[in-house]
Amino acid sequence: MGLVVVGGQAAGLSAASRARRIDQSLDITVLEKGSRISYGACGLPYFIEGQVRKLDDLTVYTPDFFERDRNIRIRANAEVVAVEHPKREIVLQTGERVRYDRLVWAAGARPKLRFTDPRVFDFHTAIDAERLQRFLDELRPKTAAIVGGSYIGLEMVTALRARGLKVELFEATDSLLQRHDSHLTALVAKRLERCCVMVRFNTRVADPSSLPHDLILATAGLAPNVEALAAAGAEIGRSGALRVSDRCETTLHGVYAAGDCCETDHIVTNRPAWIPLGTTANKMGRVAGANAAGRRDRFQGIAGTSIVRVCGLGVASTGLSEAQARAEGFHPVVARIEAKSKPKYFLGRPLHVELIADSGSGRLLGGSVVGDDGALARIDVIATALAARMKVEDLAAVDFAYTPPFAPVMEPLLIVAQQLLKDLGRSAW
């Protein structure tokens, strides 16, 4: 049986590898339109910042490794332009046809707009990063505008400040990180101000070329790569990404999809959501690959858990913000505390923790953790609580570890959970 995978990064290669592990007899081909496979796009901002010396350091596995160790055929520079599902055939840009029995579509997403002005850059692929690096090295720009206050925009603020540029950030709405969260936004904006970054909220940049800066980075807006599969009849969700079942199967029988090109169920709302992230791509890829190889694995959904470093500040969130919870029909109650990540004598740093629950049921809906130290561990606990559909009282009863070099005696998550219980009228200190 022939399995064809379209897309040679996180989702596609996870799918191909998982399928191979399950079925040694499959004939597996990965078609990738670019020349590089298996590199971590998440590392690209750190290449610009200077923490990653060369792009090749971001490569996880080489094509040779897949061919030799996993018996997976890798075809780079092979762009798929059409899928003829009734014939089980893929058409490449060259006109060549490739047959499949099962197909995994893992074509990712792309920036919505591309620009021709040599001062204006996208930042999505290794090629974009290479071009930007060359521009920075050769032309030594002094000022930069970043359009879009999502996590990629904020990572690039950090990278370009580290390279000594004067940076201005333009955001079309009044909030950062697409959570409609004024509290989180204020904390991040304060750090940006401290790092001498000018933030322009409610400023939609229709034409980046109109900005006077030496360098303009357009990071706003992604579009899922779904066109060929949509033309073949696969259903598209409200977000514009592919609809898939919890088995990662599209509405075309035998065609699976995973990663940035797909919607998936949100574990808090139980509705489809499109939150393209690397962790999701890897996990969905594994499920899509397993099922394409004949298993019946299930992808359990996402909470949109993420963390980003903004000029040294860890900014982490999971589940719904207060505004998102309200828009989804919940009645959210929010507790916010500031605590220390460790005791004072171990140089504990301020940690801002927000926890949100539904007022009727007490079920946890989401949270955020912001601080220079300790944000990751706490957000992962909240994410685990969401996955377990915990109520506030369940979190307040967790037995957390304590020793001064790592944590304060009163764990910030317990303080915020106690506060939330109090606000919900379920218990008092």
Ligand X SMILES: Cc1cc2nc3c(=O)[nH]c(=O)nc-3n(C[C@H](O)[C@H](O)[C@H](O)COP(=O)(O)OP(=O)(O)OC[C@H]3O[C@@H](n4cnc5c(N)ncnc54)[C@H](O)[C@@H]3O)c2cc1C
Contact window for ligand X (CB under 6 A) among 38-46, 205-213, 248-256, 406-414: 38-46
Span 130-159, contacts to ligand X by CB under 6 A: 152
Helices 10-22, 63-70: inter-axial angle, 10-degree rounding:
10
Position among 51, 94, 279, 427 found at the interface with ligand X (CB under 6 A): 279
* Window of 106-114, 132-140, 229-237, 265-273 that interacts with ligand X by CB under 6 A: 106-114
Least Cβ distance, residue 403 to ligand X (angstroms): 29
- List the one residue from 10, 154, 176, 417 that touches ligand X (CB under 6 A): 10
Question: Is 262 an annotated catalytic residue?
Answer: no
Sole window of 49-57, 102-110, 193-201, 234-242 interacting with ligand X (rule: CB under 6 A): 102-110
Q: Total residues contacting ligand X (rule CB under 6 A)?
A: 33
Q: Out of 74, 83, 103, 106, which residue is the one contacting ligand X (CB under 6 A)?
A: 106
| Packing angle, helices 278-292 and 10-22, rounded to 10 | 30
Beta carbon nearer to ligand X, 221 or 343: 221
Closest approach, Cβ 357 to ligand X, in A, equals 26
**Looking only at residues 212 through 251 of this chain, which bind ligand X when binding is defined by CB under 6 A?**
225, 228
Nearest to ligand X of 308, 355 (CB atom):
308
Q: In this chain, which stretch among 175-183, 275-283, 359-367, 375-383 interacts with ligand X, using CB under 6 A?
A: 275-283
Name the nearest CA neighbour of 330 among 343, 316, 320: 320
Counting contacts by CB under 6 A, is residue 6 touching ligand X? yes
Q: Does 111 bind ligand X (CB under 6 A)?
A: no
Tell me the C-alpha to C-alpha distance, in Å, between residue 64 and each of 3, 25, 39, 126. Answer: 19, 19, 14, 19
* Of 39-47, 58-66, 231-239, 408-416: span binding ligand X (CB under 6 A): 39-47
Span of 37-45, 198-206, 292-300, 332-340 interacting with ligand X by CB under 6 A: 37-45
SS (H, E, C) the chain: CEEEEECCCHHHHHHHHHHHHHCCCCEEEEECCCCCCCECHHHHHHHHHCCCCCHHHHECCCHHHHHHHHCCEEECCCCEEEEEHHHCEEEECCCCEEECCEEEECCCEEECCCCCCCCEECCCCHHHHHHHHHHHHHHCCCEEEEECCCHHHHHHHHHHHHCCCEEEEECCCCCCCCCCCHHHHHHHHHHHHHCCCEEECCCCCCCHHHCCCCEEEECCCEEECCHHHHHCCCCECCCCCECCCCCCECCCCCEEECHHHECEEECCCCCEECCCCHHHHHHHHHHHHHHHCCCCCCCCCECCCEEEEECCEEEEEEECCHHHHHHCCCCEEEEEEEEECCCHHHCCCEEEEEEEEECCCCEEEEEEEEECCCHHHHHHHHHHHHHCCCEHHHHHCCCCCCCCCCCCCCCHHHHHHHHHHHHHCCCCC
Q: Tell me whether residue 375 or residue 392 sits nearer to ligand X (CB atom).
A: 375
Of 38 and 341, the one with the shorter C-beta distance to ligand X is: 38
Shortest spacing between CB 122 and ligand X, in angstroms: 9
Largest CA distance in the chain: 70
**Closer to ligand X at the Cβ: 317 or 418?**
317
In the window 339-368, what residues touch ligand X (CB under 6 A)?
A: none
Q: Establish if 7 lies at the interface with ligand X (CB under 6 A).
A: yes
Residue from 3, 4, 5, 12 in contact with ligand X (CB under 6 A): 12
Residue 412 interacts with ligand X (CB under 6 A): yes or no: no
Instruction: Work out whether 423 is an interface residue with ligand X (CB under 6 A).
Output: no
Q: Which of 278, 301, 350, 362 binds ligand X (CB under 6 A)?
A: 278
Q: Which positions are annotated as active-site residues?
A: 42
Residues at the site binding ligand X, with contacts judged by CB under 6 A = 6-12, 31-34, 41-42, 44-45, 79-80, 106-109, 123-124, 152, 225, 228, 259-260, 276-279, 281
